[in-house]
Amino acid sequence: PFVAAHALGLLDAINLLVVNEIEHEALLQHLNTNTDALSCDVLVTRGSRGAELISTGSTLTQAAVAVSPVDTTGAGDTFLGSFLGRVDCGDSHVDALNYAAHASAIQVTREGAADAIPTSAEVLAALS
């Protein structure tokens, strides 16, 4: 479970904090501040409402891809892994967020968690 007090000591040592919307609110309440006051970028996942990448002075918003979910287990992990993988490949944050949204949309239409993660070819086909 997320404990806001435990995250505080890490904030100055990281570039990107990834939290879901409930964890994000808990952290901000604990700090009694807003996201702009944090010393790192923050990626907030919001399930079927998409995600936001909050950096100093800017916010990128990514809508979720509309699908009929079968099993949402692993959707956040798929989103994060896909986002980080695409950033590591040199994609812009905008493109990486879009890729991640499509990857997690495909994943939730299948049963299971790790076995349901789509291949890169499947995601690229969905993007085209």
Active-site amino acid positions: 77
CB 53 within 8 A of CB 59: yes
Helix axes 120-127, 93-107, angle to 10 degrees: 110
The letter for the amino acid at 2 is F
Q: Residue 38 in contact with residue 8, Cβ under 8 Å?
A: no
Beta bridge partners of 41: 16
**Cα(123)–Cα(107) distance, rounded to whole angstroms?**
10
